[in-house]
Structure 1
Amino acid sequence: MSDLDASTPRVFLARHGETEWTKNGRYTGSTELDLTAHGVKQVADTAALLVGTGRLIDPARLVGIQVSPRKRAQQTFEQLFQAGSATPEVRIDDERVTLTEDITEWDYGDYEGLLVGEIRASRKQRGLDKEREWNIWKDGCEGGESAQQVRERLDRMISELQDIQKPYMHGEKAVDIVVVAHGLILRAFVKRWLKYPLDMPLPMMMSPGAIAVLSYKNQNIDEPGFFVGMALPAKE
């Protein structure tokens, strides 16, 4: 049996394009930043290749799009489905688009705008982390979200998405979903999709403007999985 029937529901994760803080690695949660010109091009180029009729992300197969309310995520959504799509005549009606705080970036609290090295140095100066270095997956953020708070909102969202897709595991209806959000929260989403604890080591990389694909093995809602590689739709 193949890993995926072509009609098995999928969840596409789209990371926003480059911002000024993305370039230098600063933690960017609630700060509102625009995409850079390069970031806009990143997403537009992705859309031209992957979004459109008969392409990997076919708007006709989408039952919904979940978008972080942050400006950079909304600009990415617009480039994916309004400006950069290979089939601009295909538009996403507003009823299928949901802005939700459930998929906004991790609330970094006191660490907003800092580099990892700066956070660890500050904590060390204050006598913290004597036994091991700070790890966001275990320790969360001072003045921001804990890992448990992030897990709870992601689990709620994943449950809602799977409730939508569960009745259609064999292609009875097209129910693909796109989630447009941020680098760290999308990697956290993958862990919870796979039912892993957030602090489980799972090195992941997701470039600005990138697309990841989740689905289900054996067309089974209880076997959520991810693609380590997949073939693109064949040209007719």
Structure 2
Amino acid sequence: MGDLLLIRHGETAWTVDRRHTSITDLPLTAHGEQQARQLTAPLQALDVARVLSSPRTRATHTAQLAGLPDPHICDDLREWDYGAYEGLRTADILRRRPEWNLWRDGVPAGTDQPGESPQEVGARADRVLASLRPDLDSAAGIVIVVGHGHFLRALAARRLGLPPAAGSLFRLDTATVSRLGTEHGRPVVAQWNESRDHPARDVRQEADRSVGPKLPGQRKGLHFK
């Protein structure tokens, strides 16, 4: 089975302010562009079978700057629809609803946005995975998906056979690369939330070092220098 690489878009003005951003189509900041360019070197050596991106500018521009110039645009990769909470910080929402939890409660509809529940986001993630299954099953190369924080976390959860709400367990920073591989035919987390600013260990290789030599056919992790 092939690996699935998840890339979150680079920094925007609203990620700096920690505002919920779904349909608002913000550009990358100058730092966000720099973050995206820093992904180029570790991605160059990969045998890539397919690249998909959210339609939002912050995702497609990240892909282009990272050396992935012609991704297939997939509308199901758009960010969680934040409905009435678009543009708000979590702290703002909690002042209104102290017990609110995105991963449990979802968001209510706004004037121009319907909002989404965790189940609806999970259904979108399942559609994406179903469309990628032939590529992932063939092991012809790595499949790369460029998208958004909350949706990619839900996508990872569903790839691992977990409910969408389990995405709450996976922190995902801007312009990071995460890799879902396989072990004994089952999806596993191989690397997570790695970037030049957030170096991370290759989870699978760390485990292998503790039990024996590298397994035949095992892929190396991405490395940021």
Give me the TM-score of the superposition, normalised by structure 1: 0.76
2:154 is the counterpart of 1:188: yes
Shift of 1:109: 0.6
Residue 87 of structure 2, aligned match among 103, 113, 116: 113
Give the whole-Å Cα distance in 1 for the aligned partners of 2:91 and 2:122.
25
Structure 1 CA distance for aligned equivalents of residues 166 and 8 of structure 2? 22
Residue 23 (structure 1) aligns with: 16
Alignment partner of 1:146 is 2:117: yes
Alignment partner of 1:33 out of 26, 32, 36: 26
Q: CA deviation at 1:203?
A: 2.5
Contact 1:63–1:175, Cα closer than 8 Å, also in 2: yes
Q: 2:190 — aligned with what? A: 227
Is the Cα contact below 8 Å between 1:106 and 1:150 reproduced in 2? yes
Aligned to 2:141: 175
- Name the structure, 1 or 2, with higher relative contact order (CA <8 Å, separation 6+): 1
Give deviations 1:125-152, integer Å, cap 9, x for gaps.
xxxxxxxx11111111101011111111
Aligned AA (1:74): T
Name the residue aligned to 1:62: 48
Mapped contact 2:54–2:147 kept (Cα < 8 A): yes
| Structure 2 residue identity aligned to 1:112 | E
Note the C-alpha offset of 1:204: 2.0
Distance of 2:51 and 2:221 partners within structure 1:
21
Percent of residue pairs bearing the same amino acid type: 34
Contact 1:43 1:79 in 2 (8 A): yes
CA shift for structure 1 position 201: 7.3
* Runs of 4+ residues over 4 Å off in structure 1: none
How far apart, in 1, do the equivalents of 2:222 and 2:81 lie? 37
Unmatched 5+ stretches in structure 2: 110-114, 192-200, 203-219
Q: Does 2:67 correspond to 1:81?
A: yes
Distance 2:49 2:177 in 1: 18
Does the Cα contact within 8 Å between 1:138 and 1:198 map onto a contact in 2?
no
CA RMSD of aligned residues (A): 1.9
Larger Rg: 1
Paired letter, 1:159: A
SS of the aligned residue for 2:165 comes to: coil
One of 120, 130, 136 as aligned partner of 1:165: 136
Letter in 1 for 2:79: E
Matched, 1:156 2:124: no
> Is residue 196 of structure 2 the alignment partner of residue 203 of structure 1?
no
Relative to structure 1, the CA distance from residue 26 to residue 67 in structure 2 (aligned partners, 3 Å threshold; closer, same or farther) is: same
CA contact (8 A) 1:43 1:209 kept: yes
**Deviation digits for residues 147-183 of structure 1 (CA, Å, limit 9, x no counterpart):** 11111110111122123221x35xxxx2311000011
Question: Aligned residues, how many?
Answer: 192
Work out whether residues 63 and 177 of structure 1, in 8 Å CA contact, stay in contact via their aligned partners in 2: yes
Q: Output the CA distance in 1 between the equivalents of 2:56 and 2:2.
A: 27
> Do the aligned partners of 2:82 and 2:116 also contact (CA within 8 Å) in 1?
yes
**Structure-2 separation of matches of 1:152 and 1:45:** 32
